[in-house]
Amino acid sequence: MANQYETVFIMTPVLSDEQMKETVAKYQKLLKDKGAEIVLEHDWGLKKLAYPIQKKSTGFYYLIEFKTDGDIIRDIELAFKRDERIIRFLTVKLDKHAVAYNEKKRKKAQEEQPQEA
């Protein structure tokens, strides 16, 4: 049975918009190539960091929620560590309550979107 995971990574703020999109695409492709099913992606944009990391006070945040078996986590985290564009990352396994909460939140967001005629 596939578990559900959530990965948030912070990219260095010196990247251009194109470089940021290439970085995100690299990790999307890595997940898909390893058989993961991407459930949700969210670009949080440029945010101020709580404390400086590598002398930088801001970073581009990106969240990917996906379903897979646990083997891929080691591979994606190794790729994050090797990529100089990534300054921090965190991957967490979601328990059944977190999965239910995320699904409820997505459903509510869809209902609140204005319907086109």
Domains annotated for the chain, with CATH where assigned, are 3-112 (3.30.70.60)
Distance CA 24, CA 38 (A): 13
Asked if residue 101 has pLDDT above 60, the reply is yes
Confidence of residue 19 (pLDDT cuts 50, 70, 90): very high
CA–chain centroid gap for 104, Å, is: 19
Q: Which of 4-13, 28-37, 75-84, 108-117 is predicted with the least confidence, judged by mean pLDDT?
A: 108-117
Q: Is 113 helix (H, G, I), strand (E, B) or coil?
A: coil
pTM: 0.85
Report pLDDT for 1: 65
| CA separation for the pair 108, 60 (Å, rounded) | 26
| 46-72 tens-digit pLDDT | 999 999 998 999 999 999 999 998 788
Strands (E), 12-113: 37-53, 56-68, 86-94
pLDDT in the model for residue 116: 59
